[in-house]
Amino acid sequence: MSEPIHAVSGKSRQVRALHLDDLDAVLDIERQGYSHPWTPGVFRDCFHANYRTWALTEDKEVIGYAVVAYMVDEAHLLNLCVARRHHRSGGARYLLRHLIAQARQENMSRVLLEVRLSNEPAVTLYNSEGFEQIGIRPQYYPAVRGRESARVMALVIA
């Protein structure tokens, strides 16, 4: 599938399917972004029919990724991360809009996600794209000291 190219500061960005060959780059980004990163095995388990895995590339280099599980008529965003050096460049928004458009095209009724209560930049992004908080999952994420609760957010797309 060919994706539209989005120019950013003289460079071209696009979203394409994530491949197992991208795993080293994805794991590097994952380790930059999270105190408790996913393992290679967790990522490998996402390469199945009911998942959508996306790579955000800039001049063909993987700079971000998203993992979405499709369950009946809902798309559950499990992981979205952009390399630290590309934060605040619009990459996360670009990737998020892509996965929402794909979910809509595949007749999903809504997109669900969990986000750490402390992750204000992500919450701001999701709110600006129309997501609304629908609940809290207490002690959902592992944290440096104990566990951290998550906001459950949803975007109706049907």
Q: What residues are labeled active site?
A: 114, 126
Structure tokens at 107: 């007749």
Structure tokens at 20: 């197992």
Which residue(s) pair with 141 in the sheet?
Answer: 148
Q: Where are the alpha helices (DSSP H) in the chain?
A: 23-33, 40-44, 91-105, 120-128
CA distance 67 to 31: 16
Q: Are 104 and 111 in contact (CB under 8 A)?
A: no
CA distance 53 to 131: 21
CA distance 80 to 30: 9
CA distance 9 to 17: 23
